[in-house]
Amino acid sequence: MAAVKVLPLRLPPLPSIKDVIRLYKLRALRELSQNFLMEPRLIDKIVRAAGDIQNHVVCEVGPGPGGITRSIIHRAPRKVVLIEKDPRFVPSLELLADACKGKVDVDIITGDVLKTDLAHFIPSDVKTDWHDPPPPVNLIGNLPFSVSTILIIRWLEMMSRREGPWSFGRTRMTLTFQKEVAERMAAQLMDKQRCRLSVMCQSWCTVNYKFDIPGSAFVPKPNVDVGVVTLTPLKYPLVKQPFKMVEKVIRQIFNMRQKYSIRGAQTLFPEEVREEMALRMYKMADIDPITRPFQIANTEFARICDAYSEIIKKYPEFEHYDYRAPKNKNPDPQPEEADMETDFVVNKM
């Protein structure tokens, strides 16, 4: 039987986003890294990237004046949860909530997404088993670029523990990032952009780089372009070790990106045993020590993490070793090329 085409949800006449900004005297604040995306075609394209969201629960991060929110509501979700840090946008979001009252349930949460428990606002009846298809829950948003890497790493950790939105199943995300960060998330083996973030994201998710949005589409114009990425949690994560351990191992190896990967791996261990232990770890994982970090596959990183886990079971004193701590008299030299994945502080949509 052919699928029934769902007509867009019709709302009463509303002022345009430009008129809303003018009506409520909203101004993009540089100190909060704000920009407004005005182009309806691009806004709709972002929401379409999330797939069919009819009757879904959609959590939108950073809705601002509500441009993407309108496009979400037009696709007839069951519920929309809006998390907005700037209280100046609440009246414009309340306008949308009133316009769809009785058709779509809208929660407006004024607060920092880093401190918000999204699971509290998601109905319990949407829960699915982890190995089933993803639940009818979506995270969509224009992340504040200055914290986007911090936020995605935090969400990946929650995903690894099946907490928050991922306590309901393999909740999907459709998010915007600074273009270079988006490219790193999706970078494959041997790609010049491949870094710690690539391996972390791909160890727990299928990462799909959807499309670019030029900086010129925003007002005021940021100095970078934007990439739209979808992330779908894997049924079976590539690595089974605790998230913090995996993050530590991958960070240290990528800390010397252009050198042999074992150079970074050695910093996981005290100076007096580092060469011996790093070689042992690589032998256990069946990895060539002269392989460079960006030449190591995701599954090979998983084997390195498994080997590291076995070593610290035998030598628990290594688990909390930090080569940067002051007690090290002869710390390793600075890396030749750091894993440059810190977001530039640029404007958020």
CA neighbor of 153 nearest in space, from 120, 181, 189, 183: 181
Residue 29: what pLDDT? 61
Residue 18: what pLDDT? 80
The string of DSSP letters for 228-266 reads EEEEEE-SS-S--S-HHHHHHHHHHHHTTTTS-HHHHHH
Q: Strand, helix or coil at 117?
A: coil
283/266 Cα distance (integer angstroms): 13
Please give the span between the terminal C-alpha atoms of the chain, in angstroms, as a whole number. Answer: 41
Residue 39: what pLDDT? 87
Residue 139 tokens read as: 């995270």
Residue 164: what pLDDT? 97
> How far does Cα 31 stand from its chain's mean position?
22
Full-model pTM: 0.89
Residue 127: what pLDDT? 98
Chunked into runs of 10 residues, the chain (349 residues) has average pLDDT values of 59 77 71 72 96 97 92 96 93 94 95 93 98 98 84 97 98 96 97 96 98 87 90 97 98 93 97 97 98 97 98 96 73 42 38
Residue 282 tokens read as: 């690589």
Superfamily per CATH, domain 243-318 = rRNA adenine dimethylase, C-terminal domain (1.10.8.100)
Classify the phi-psi angles of 177: left when phi > 0, otherwise alpha if psi is within -120 to 50, otherwise beta: beta
Range 282-317 burial, b when 16+ CB lie within 10 A, else e: beebebeeebbbbebbbebbbbbbbbbbebbeeeee
CA neighbor of 230 nearest in space, from 76, 46, 56, 75: 46
Phi and psi torsions of 309, nearest 5°: -60, -40
> Which residue in this structure is represented by tokens 């700037």?
86
Q: Do domains 17-233 and 243-318 have the same CATH topology?
A: no
Residue 271: what pLDDT? 95
**Domain parsing of the chain, residue ranges:** 17-233, 243-318
CA neighbor of 280 nearest in space, from 334, 318, 245, 332: 318
Superfamily per CATH, domain 17-233 = Vaccinia Virus protein VP39 (3.40.50.150)
